[in-house]
Structure formats: structure tokens, C-alpha cells
Structure 1
Amino acid sequence: MIRLNNVGVSFRKENQKKIFGKERQQILVDVSMHVKEKECLGILGESGSGKSTMGRVICGLLKPDCGKVEVEKPISIVFQDYTTSANPRFTVKQIISESLIVRERRESIRLDREKEIRKLLELVGLSEEFSLRYPHELSGGQLQRVCIARAVALQPKIILFDESISSLDAYTQVQIMDLLKEIRKKYGLTYVFITHDLSSVTYFCDRVLFLYQGQIVETCEIAELGKVKDEYAKKLLNSVVNLR
């Protein structure tokens, strides 16, 4: 479904003394990975590890300096900051309609948008009355459900979640992950789940990729987490154990 081969990404360094300084900071270093159909792959790393940059490369929002990116199916994104990813002047109905309009153009069809919106709201556990509300009238969990509905409205085969639940409280995080599990099963979707939280990865994902300083240091099945060999991966695992 997704394959990255020897991908490298660098950005121009900020605060260079020379006005036209050409120093660059390497963000991703020779990254190669794949995502299998219908699996949920967790991309795990601390802040600054390059995981969100990898997500942008996968989605086509960022062109790498080198390497090859293959994404076989349509992909949708659910971002971390649901407050800025939804237009505050749009109603829920209008937010979801954005994706339906894209689908109409892509497939040269005419949808019954009212019916589709009702179905999508029901899918994410919201009643039809939410369709006329504005983002500021929703809780964080409700607004993220709307963003999930918008992503599903495109009928993708892959959805990428970039720290999509990190801003929510623990109880709401579990609710959203359970919802996403149901949606994945119902539609046979493939997920890429970017996060810094190992506990959510173990609850939600099938396989995890550890990213450190722009490099993949280990990949393993969730059931095999106790067998990781890389020191950074062990450190993350131990930090979770010590918090319990």
C-alpha cells in the first residue's frame, strides 16, 4: 500500500549568519519502510525525530530530496490540531461537504450530500443535529470526530493520523481509538498512526516503527515489543513501564 525507499529530507537551517546561507539540517536520513494492506502501522518517536515530516512525505505534502515514495491508493489525513484544520466559520455540514465535493469532482458523480452527511455523522457517533453546529460549539472529542468523518467522506483506502489524539484527554483518546478500530474493520482501511505515545500504539496498532533523529532504528510487531534490540526503543519501552 505504501513504500518509501531511501528517502531523505532536509530543510534550510534557520538563523544563519549569512543572508543567503545554504546550510541544511537533515530531517530524514535514508528512510525505507512499507505499510501492508489493512494493517495499522504506528510511527513512534520523540519531538524532533522526523515523524511528522515522514507523514507529510507519505501524503505528498512534501517532496523528498531523494528516494522514492509509492502510495498505491487514495489517502486522507486527520491532523493533530483539529481547531485549525476545521474552518471556524463553517458548520459541521460544510466541513464534511468539502470532502464530498472533492469526491464528486474526482468520480464525476452527484451525491446526495444531506444523506451522506447523516451517514458519516452516525458513523462517528454524532447525531444529525450536529450538522448545523460550528466548531466552537463542539468539544475537542466531538470536533475530532467531525474531522474523522471528513477524512472518511473521501472514501480513501488509507488514512494517516498525525498525532490526532494527543490533544485529547485519556478517556476521549480511548473512545476515538475504539471508533477508529470499528471504521477500519468496516471499510477494510489501512492506517498510519504517528505519535509520541507508546501506550496508544500498543492499544491501537499492529506494528510499530521507531524513529530516532530521522532514522528508523527498529520495526517490530506489537506482540514482539519485549524483544526489541535497539537502545532507543528499549528506552521508550522502559519509560512507559516506569510510569506505571
Structure 2
Amino acid sequence: MVRATAYVLRFIHNARNKVINRLTGSIKVNELTNAINSLARLSQRESFPNEYNLLMNGKQVKPKDRLSKFNLFFDNKYNIMRVGGRINNSTEFNYNKKHPILLSDPHDFSPLTPGHFLIGRPLTAPVCDDDLRDVPINRLSHYQRVEQLRQHFWSRWSKEYISELQMRSKWRETVTDLKPNAMVLIKDINLPPLKWQLGRVIRTIPGSDGVSRVADIRTSTGITRRAYAKICPLNTDDDTELKKTVVS
């Protein structure tokens, strides 16, 4: 679809430039990039027409809007909506990673199913019990090599996807913060939940916007600092306010 769109855009370009600056030969990288942006723009105008027009005209999406959790802004260079978020100041990711293009799940331009991201294949696919991630390539059949690549992808995605979560559902409204002395568990993706460290909150650290997303926790091995996304509060009967704390 992207390559077909690139050829259509080339035809339009050449029709408007019959003498100079004509595009010929194989499709170039910049043409594919323009095609992707054009498809994304069409997808957004079809899926989110109201929000698209608001941002295009320099207005903001209302707080009660379904898309307000994405902290959207309008990329005037490509006329597309992009996702804002808390990793805007990161130096580890490029612009597209920090501000991905917003696409609607059911749209034709984004046909992957949830199963592809949960297990790397459709949910109805047969299960593969063998862990092939560390097996040398020369010992693998073609099918096993494909399976190994899938396992590597899923392993990285499951660990790195947090950086892609730009939704502000936890921060759009004021919620009760983690309180000092609150008992918590510290998530560890390399350990089962029953082996997660137990600790007690010492203090929380607010960000530049005044919202705390990080806390210092005292554990049996010392003091450690973790993001709220890695903290599981242990609610108690005499600490009902913690039940309002939003974590994931």
C-alpha cells in the first residue's frame, strides 16, 4: 500500500513538473516517507475529523475528549497529529519514537491485531514451547529461525513498550499521591511476582510539571528509586487513600 501510494504521488508530481524535477527510476526513501505521511494524514482525517480540524486550526482538544489522554499536537511540517508525552526531553530516542503518529486501530492503515503484540502472532496460532532466542543460527531450520526472530522481537517489545506509552490517563486529573511509609512491591520483569521486593515509600519526587511519577523506597537491601509504573501499593484497611493511587 505504501509503495502504491508512492507511485501515485510520483505521478502527481511528474504531472505538475513536466520539464524539470521529474522523478524517475526506483522509488526513493524520501518518496516512501512521503507516502507513509500521506496515508497517516488520510487515516487521521477519516478516523478523527473533529480533533484533526481543531489541531490544524491551532486549537486544543478538550480535556473530556477521548483523545486528550494522548497530549496531541499538530505537526505542521507533515500536517499530521502526533502524540506528546513524558519522554519529550529524552536524548535516547529520535523524534518519531518520542512523538509517534496517532492511528486508529480498526483503520486499514493499521491492520495488526492485538495478538501480534501480545504473543507475536494471531491468538489462534499454535503455541511454540521451545525458547530459541540463544540457539546458534546454524542449528536452526528455516521455520525455527523465523520463530527465533519472532521471540527476539516479542522479548524486546515486552521490555521496551513502556517508552511508547504516551497516554496521560494517569495524569489528566489530580490523584492521591503515594504517601510516605506506604508499603509497596517493586515490579521486576525478570522475577515472578512472589519474589518482587517489598519496601516502604520514603518520599516522592515531583517532575517539572509538579506531578510525582518517581518515588524513593526503602527495602531490605537499601534505598532504591523507581517510577510509579514499577510500584504496586499494598492497600490496607487503615490506608484507604492509597486505593485512589493510579499505577499500572
Greater strand share, structure number: 1
TM-score bin, normalised by smaller chain: under 0.3
Greater helix share, structure number: 1
- Normalised by the length of structure 2, the TM-score is 0.23
- Normalised by the length of structure 1, the TM-score is 0.23
Give the structure, 1 or 2, with the largest relative contact order (CA under 8 Å, sep 6 or more): 1
Larger Rg: 2
